[in-house]
Amino acid sequence: MKRISLIVLSILMSVGAFAQNDGPQRREFNPEEYWNTLEEFVSREAGLTDAETAGLIPLIKEMRGEQRKNGRKAMEIIRSVNDGTTDAEYGTKVKQLLEIDVQNKQIEETYFKKFHDVLSWEKVFKVRHALYNFDREALNKFRPPRRGPNDRNRH
């Protein structure tokens, strides 16, 4: 479950980093398209019925909304760093970021229990795996293309 929150946080940080890139323009984010794609992906990967999907998607939206708020808090902490930040302040910021990760795990735990009100534990497990895969694929869309056939470093 830690992976999901780390992936979500990574996606949020990647969006900010790539927004400043002067490279090729990417198309604008479309929330409706995002949710439609997520719904279709999770439904297919977890083998959900239409009724199960209809009961689950609002819960996923609520969960992701709460996690998004935490992602914003994390970005505020990260952006607050400047050249004058002391080592002690960095330590405080690291602790704050770790606490946000813990909060995201608590949110997931709460919502996975709510998912079980709609689904069997087997399907909750499959939904969790599908959400992880969806986030991983979404993150891969932001990865810059390789520069050459022998280029394995992506820094």
Q: Domain spans of the chain?
A: 31-141
Q: Which residues contact 116 (CB under 8 A, 6 or more apart)?
A: 124
Residue 23 clears pLDDT 60, i.e. is over it: no
Cα–Cα distance for residue pair 152/155, rounded to 1 Å: 9
Under a CB-based contact definition with an 8 Å cutoff, are residues 134 and 38 in contact?
yes
Residue 58 clears pLDDT 80, i.e. is over it: yes
Which pLDDT band, with edges at 50, 70 and 90, does 153 fall under?
low
The average confidence (pLDDT) of the chain is 86
pTM strictly above 0.85: no
